[in-house]
Chains A and B, each alone.
Chain A
Amino acid sequence: MQELVSIQLPDLRLVLPELTVLITGFMLFSLELLFKRLSHAIAISVSLVGYLIALLFITFMPAKGETFFGLYHRDGFSSLLQFFMLLLTMVLLGFHLIYYRKKRSLYGEFYYLLSFALLGGMFLVSSYNLIVLYVALEAVSISFYILTALLRSDFSSKEGAFKYLMLGGLSIALASYGAGFMYLYSGSLDLRYILTHVGENQYFLVLGLVLFLIGFAIKIGAVPFHFWLPDAYQGAPTPITAYMASVGKLAFFAPLVRLMPYVQEHFAYAWVATVSIISAITMLYGNLVALVQKDVKRLLAYSSIAHSGYIMAGIAVAQLIGLKAVIYFLIAYALMGFGSFMVLALLERSEGWENRLEQFSGLRFSAPWLAVSFMLMLLALLGVPPTVGFVGKALVFMSLSSGSLWWLAFVMIVATGISTGYYLRITALMFMRNPSTNLQLALTGWEKALIALLTVSLVLLGAVPIILWGFISPSAENLFVR
């Protein structure tokens, strides 16, 4: 009888970063409730302190293992991704967001929704359990729906939010329906057990896996299911777009990366065929449609779709080298996408700026250093050495060649060639034309420093990729060992 009542307390040391973010979120929530007019300075400092503590826990307490009876799994991969998520959230808060308060669109809920989205993302990258994945997915998605709709009196923000909600809801329904079939097949909710389990009615497993993957394909914006992404990215307040393109991408790709080593055992052929075809369509479509865009924010949204395609090309190669390339490219895209959308967010402060393509002409004269950073970010997105974009593409290319997927490597080169058209067009407009609009940018020293930091990190991590590689390589190997 003694054993029945004794409760085994889970090891809470492993979830200390998540607990810190959760407490930060609840503190922001209750502060917002207590003080009707919460000072933004207080909200920003509370969040920054909380995230900093969580970051220190991840950096200096690299404990690994499982807790909550196998529901939560912390390894090198989850710590690495969580580190970058926290870092990017802190950088986002470092930008002077007061401008959005002037437009009556930044409220107290912005801060706690940001921390709940972050919390969901942190759980999404560190679990194999379907219930935890489902709850984390809903946490990220619901926070993103509200954050997208936060721009008051702006109809396209609401439109983007509703489209995101519709497709997001469909994706969650599909993913959980798939989870249901996988549960029916194996009687377990642990992905590792499901995929190594050999039982009767194998078609339940295949059906479940297909539905689950379609659900995640909608979330990452793979092409037959991408309709929401450009609208949601264009409608959302630009800092939120930057957040969705960086932290959102990291979070939504993580379960696919975790799934890959298990799927390749039994379904290697089907996996390679489907994922590589979707990836080829995604990168070609994203780049081709981006070519004809007049709105730079929408153009970058399509470039984000194309980058989902490149990352999926790495996932298609069901090998260790593919996994390493994917993790590198994910982190690289998080930095590049965040930086480029943040530059747009800064430019939007100028009166009358609408992100139209022709407004970029002559940016070199009106905001020289911003133009140079934006150029470097665009070149990184294009994949020019020595930037992170180049290393990421080179790694994906190497893994494609080791998996003998030559046709996909060829498609990737063609897609990159197409993308030259629009990235270089913006660069040429910025540097070779005369200015057309008057810019009044009021940037604080912090913001200049943060943009410079992002730009330098793009070049530095590309020129000396070994800095990241030292963390990526062991964590990828760890995912393959069981």
Chain B
Amino acid sequence: MKTIPLEAYLIVSIVLFGLGVFGMIVRRNLVTVLMSMELALNAVNVLFVGADSHLSLVDGQIFALFIIALAAAEAAVGLGIIIAIFRLRKVDSTDEITDMRG
């Protein structure tokens, strides 16, 4: 059986992580920023699973399961905060939530 080499996992994971961080910095829509954050966390999952297949261990997959669960919790809280922002003022862009300065 032919296994996927470690390099393939690494490349996918680094591209995903880069896209996530890039999206968090460049995008202005609040929900898109949250989605980019989840993308970065999924990159971590790919890395852990790739490391597991390389080392033939299972610890990394357990870590990946924890990340899936807690990333969902974080996304739920994030969406809640975005809804609270939208209820107070009808804004959906990071450019418009700049009350505090200095």
Chain A residues with CB under 8 Å of chain B are: 130-131, 134-135, 138, 141-142, 145-146, 149, 153, 155-156, 158-163, 165-166, 169-170, 172-173, 176-177, 179-181, 183-184, 187-189, 230-231, 234-235, 289, 292-295, 298
Query: Are B74 and A162 closer than 8 Å at their CB atoms?
Result: no
Chain B residues with CB under 8 Å of chain A are: 13, 17, 20-21, 24, 30, 33-34, 37, 40-41, 43-44, 47-48, 50-51, 54-55, 57, 59-60, 62-63, 66-67, 70, 73-74, 77-78, 80-82, 84-85, 88-89, 97-100, 102
Query: Are B48 and A180 closer than 8 Å at their CB atoms?
Result: yes
Given contacts A149-B81, A158-B81, A293-B102, contact A131 B66 (CB under 8 A): yes
Identify the closest chain A residue to B49 (Cβ): A180
Query: Are A162 and B100 closer than 8 Å at their CB atoms?
Result: no
Residue among B13, B57, B99 with most chain A CB within 10 A: B99
Identify the closest chain A residue to B17 (Cβ): A177
A154 to chain B, nearest CB (A): 8
Query: Are A166 and B33 closer than 8 Å at their CB atoms?
Result: yes
Query: Are B55 and A187 closer than 8 Å at their CB atoms?
Result: yes
Residues on the A chain within 8 Å of B73, using CB = 138, 142
Query: Are B77 and A145 closer than 8 Å at their CB atoms?
Result: yes
Residue among B24, B47, B57, B98 with most chain A CB within 10 A: B47
A173 to chain B, nearest CB (A): 4
Interface of B is mostly: helix
Residues on the B chain within 8 Å of A184, using CB = 47, 50-51, 54-55
The CA-CA distance from A159 to B73 in the complex, in Å, is 20
Query: Are A180 and B74 closer than 8 Å at their CB atoms?
Result: no
Interface of A is mostly: helix
Instruction: Tell me how many residue pairs across A and B have CB atoms closer than 8 Å.
Output: 128
Query: Are B33 and A183 closer than 8 Å at their CB atoms?
Result: no
What 10 A-B pairs come out closest when comparing CB atoms? A180-B47, A173-B40, A184-B51, A169-B37, A138-B70, A159-B97, A187-B55, A176-B44, A158-B85, A231-B100
Residues on the A chain within 8 Å of B70, using CB = 134-135, 138, 142
Interchain CB contact (< 8 A) of A170 among B24, B48, B99? B24
A122 to chain B, nearest CB (A): 18
A345 to chain B, nearest CB (A): 18
Interchain CB contact (< 8 A) of A165 among B20, B41, B78? B78
Query: Are B81 and A155 closer than 8 Å at their CB atoms?
Result: no
Residue among A131, A158, A169, A187 with most chain B CB within 10 A: A169
The CA-CA distance from A149 to B87 in the complex, in Å, is 13
Identify the closest chain B residue to A176 (Cβ): B44
A206 to chain B, nearest CB (A): 15
Query: Are B43 and A142 closer than 8 Å at their CB atoms?
Result: no
Q: What are 10 A-B pairs with beta-carbon distances under 8 A?
A: A130-B63, A135-B70, A142-B70, A142-B74, A162-B30, A173-B40, A180-B60, A184-B47, A292-B102, A293-B102
